[in-house]
A and B are shown apart, each in its own frame.
Chain A
Amino acid sequence: MNLLTLSLKNLQRRKLRTGLSMAGVAIATAALFSLLSFNTGFDRALQEEMANSGIHMMASTEGCPLEAASLALHGGEIPKFLDARRLPEISDMPGIRTATGMLIFSLIEEEGKAIFFYGVGDNYRDLKPHWKIRGDWFNGPDSIILGSEAARVEKREVGDKVYFPGIDAEFTVSGIVERTGSEDDGFFFLPLDTAQKVFKKQGKLTAVGISLANVEEFEQVKGKIETLPDVYVVTKDQIMQQISSLTGSSKTLMAAVLVVALVVSFLGVINTVLMSVFEMLREFGYMRCIGASPGHIFRIVLFETLLLCLAGGVLGTAFGMAFASVTDQWLHDLLPYAPAGRFILFDPLIMAASISFATIAGLLAGIIPGLKAAHASPMEAVRNV
């Protein structure tokens, strides 16, 4: 037996109170773990999504080019359009590997769910070299390619027809893109001309996605494109910055909630241990009689809070990991822009950081009760109740 086992056994004396405090620490640690994972996972997923898009920069029109670009990547509708005549001008510029026009529209279905149509040119395939298409690329003006998730939801296979009452148009599924893990999985891809016709935007584009032949010529190409009338260029980094700022307020809100949870949990632990210290003051007084120094008593209390928070930290991290997919789904629903892919992945560093935080918080939480207990006089043992 040593002081640590004595502390552990003290915790077992008040199982319900210990359990509740541990649950509080576990919830706070799970929230911390999820937020830390989210912060790194979001950036990683965003990088991956940008890399998968194959786009180095996007040309859009005056207004909110950054928003247009991020919506073009993720799905959404903007009120301003780029003149489609800019597309061949951009394509013909030196240093451009691929430039593809995109027209993006959303349609609200009867159930209130938005579906996104991407009108894309043939060279859009060049930006998606990783796509595996079951079936064919567009084989006619009424053909449609479905993302894997879109095909699953619509219960369609290659060769099936799909009718959209909102636009009164029917298409034949020429191909289904196998699961990419990106937002592409949920989209409906139409030939660009068809999309322009169906959505009555002939000669209009939402944006032009541009892939460079040589990324070292980035600045020169960007400068040349921006000489075109009404054309604004946003880079991949700017898009990422825009997306980060779009999610920034959500992140701040989550961080604020987390701070509150941590503070409440921290105070809860102090309260629990302090209550137990008050209850055990006479016992500590007795321990002082039988040779315990103030340092011994301080350590007993400190170990108690440490064990409480360590166990809560381990439980919370395990809980956070176990429910990662639920948290992921919740975050995807909550955020204004959430790149595809999982945010919360097994990361030993984040797990260690979460548990360490809980442990350090435990050490700090133990100081006040520990000092209170350490000041217990041996006379507490003979104090009249």
Chain B
Amino acid sequence: MSDLITLNKVNKTYRRGREQVHALDGVDLTIHQGEFVAVAGPSGSGKSTLLNIVGAMDQVNTGQVTIANQDVTALNEKGLTHLRADTIGFVFQQFFLQPTLTARENVLLPTLFTRQKHLESRADELLARVGLAERADHLPDELSGGEMQRVAIARALINQPKILLADEPTGNLDSRNAEAIYGLLDELHDEGLTIIVVTHSEELAMRAERRIHLLDGRISDDKAKGKTRVA
């Protein structure tokens, strides 16, 4: 498996009042293409900062970050925008669906910014893929929480990203809907998508093939599950 994301001696500090917080402290990490990685750890351990770094949302203080063969630390704002648009699909706890757009229009939203046209049929395919073919013309307030998150996943996939980055994707869902999302992530992983999930959910973390545990800005544990995936 080729390396998709590498972090080399990454440090990230920020100020909180007078206090200097070492959010990431000399982190070395390599994530291979096709891996399903769960990042866990207590609050303040650096999970969110790691997510910001691997999502090209934030820059490091020192160290080097490479995503899909691009040195993120050398990219300007425009380069980072392109990297996020082309390489990474984002799924968040809050769904961020536009309430006045239908499910289909929400899925198509990223294409507004990448100027891709005529992707309606791909949006319908993705909605069918997440089990919402019949709900394409519904507005978000006509959907359940689980359905909204599935729309968000379909939206994250519209630009055919190499990485799906999910931050507490089941945090707002009941167990039945959470189970549906777990199943969907499993399927996407089985299809070869690289998935990185930041979660407090032990159940979700257990389903990942690799679990990284952070503590005080350092990787305290990094273990692969017995399960292996055919590349």
Name A residues whose Cβ lies closer than 8 Å to a Cβ of B: 1-3, 6, 9-10, 12-13, 282-283, 286-294, 296, 377-379, 381-382, 384
Q: Which residues of A contact B100 (CB under 8 A)?
A: 9-10, 12-13
Q: Which residues of B contact A13 (CB under 8 A)?
A: 99-100
When chains A and B are docked, how far (Å) is the Cα of A288 from the Cα of B52? 12
Cβ contact of B92, chosen from A9, A286, A292, A296, cutoff 8 A = A286
Whether A293 lies near B55 (C-beta < 8 A) is no
Interface assignment of B35: CB less than 8 Å from any CB of chain A: no
Cβ contact of A289, chosen from B48, B57, B99, cutoff 8 A = B57
Given contacts A2-B112, A290-B84, contact A283 B98 (CB under 8 A): yes
Beyond the given A296-B112, A381-B92, please list 4 additional residue pairs across the A-B interface where CB-CB is below 8 A.
Answer: A288-B81, A291-B110, A291-B113, A291-B159
Chain A: CB-nearest residue to B95: A286
Chain A: CB-nearest residue to B57: A378
21 contacts between A and B (CB under 8 A): A1-B101, A1-B105, A3-B112, A10-B100, A13-B99, A13-B100, A282-B94, A283-B98, A286-B90, A287-B109, A288-B57, A289-B55, A289-B90, A290-B90, A290-B159, A293-B78, A378-B84, A381-B96, A382-B48, A382-B52, A382-B167
Whether B112 lies near A6 (C-beta < 8 A) is yes
Smallest CB separation, A8 vs chain B (Å): 9
Given contacts A6-B112, A13-B100, A286-B92, contact A291 B85 (CB under 8 A): yes
Given contacts A289-B55, A294-B77, A379-B52, contact A282 B96 (CB under 8 A): yes
Whether A379 lies near B96 (C-beta < 8 A) is no
Given contacts A381-B90, A382-B52, contact A293 B81 (CB under 8 A): yes
Q: Which residues of B contact A6 (CB under 8 A)?
A: 98, 101, 109, 112
Grouping DSSP codes into helix (H, G, I), strand (E, B) and loop, the A interface class, with mixed when no group exceeds half, is helix
Max chain B Cβ within 10 angstroms of own Cβ: one of A2, A6, A294 = A6
When chains A and B are docked, how far (Å) is the Cα of A287 from the Cα of B89? 11
Cβ contact of A378, chosen from B55, B99, B112, cutoff 8 A = B55
Smallest CB separation, B109 vs chain A (Å): 7
Q: Which residues of A contact B85 (CB under 8 A)?
A: 290-291
Chain B: CB-nearest residue to A287: B113
When chains A and B are docked, how far (Å) is the Cα of A379 from the Cα of B55? 9
Grouping DSSP codes into helix (H, G, I), strand (E, B) and loop, the B interface class, with mixed when no group exceeds half, is helix
A-facing residues in B143-201 (Cβ within 8 Å): 155-156, 159, 167
Smallest CB separation, A152 vs chain B (Å): 56
When chains A and B are docked, how far (Å) is the Cα of A226 from the Cα of B84? 87
Q: Which residues of A contact B90 (CB under 8 A)?
A: 286, 289-290, 381
Chain A: CB-nearest residue to B78: A293
Max chain B Cβ within 10 angstroms of own Cβ: one of A282, A287, A377, A382 = A382
When chains A and B are docked, how far (Å) is the Cα of A142 from the Cα of B107? 89
Count contacts between A and B, CB distance < 8 Å. 87
Give the total of B residues in contact with A, Cβ under 8 Å. Answer: 35
Whether A377 lies near B110 (C-beta < 8 A) is no
Whether A382 lies near B51 (C-beta < 8 A) is yes
When chains A and B are docked, how far (Å) is the Cα of A12 from the Cα of B48? 33
Chain B: CB-nearest residue to A294: B77
When chains A and B are docked, how far (Å) is the Cα of A85 from the Cα of B209? 117
Chain A: CB-nearest residue to B92: A381
Q: Which residues of B contact A3 (CB under 8 A)?
A: 112
Q: Which residues of A contact B86 (CB under 8 A)?
A: 291
Smallest CB separation, B64 vs chain A (Å): 20
Smallest CB separation, B95 vs chain A (Å): 9
Q: Which residues of A contact B105 (CB under 8 A)?
A: 1
When chains A and B are docked, how far (Å) is the Cα of A172 from the Cα of B112? 81
Chain B: CB-nearest residue to A290: B110
When chains A and B are docked, how far (Å) is the Cα of A3 from the Cα of B109? 10
Interface assignment of B108: CB less than 8 Å from any CB of chain A: yes
Smallest CB separation, A117 vs chain B (Å): 67
When chains A and B are docked, how far (Å) is the Cα of A57 from the Cα of B177? 90
Smallest CB separation, A71 vs chain B (Å): 62
Max chain B Cβ within 10 angstroms of own Cβ: one of A12, A282, A288, A290 = A290
Chain A: CB-nearest residue to B109: A290
Whether A9 lies near B96 (C-beta < 8 A) is no
Max chain A Cβ within 10 angstroms of own Cβ: one of B58, B113, B156 = B113
Q: Which residues of B contact A1 (CB under 8 A)?
A: 101, 105, 108, 112
Chain B: CB-nearest residue to A293: B81
Chain B: CB-nearest residue to A292: B113
Whether B155 lies near A290 (C-beta < 8 A) is yes
When chains A and B are docked, how far (Å) is the Cα of A2 from the Cα of B89? 21
Interface assignment of B62: CB less than 8 Å from any CB of chain A: no
Whether B57 lies near A379 (C-beta < 8 A) is yes
A-facing residues in B71-106 (Cβ within 8 Å): 77-78, 81-82, 84-86, 88-90, 92, 94, 96, 98-101, 105
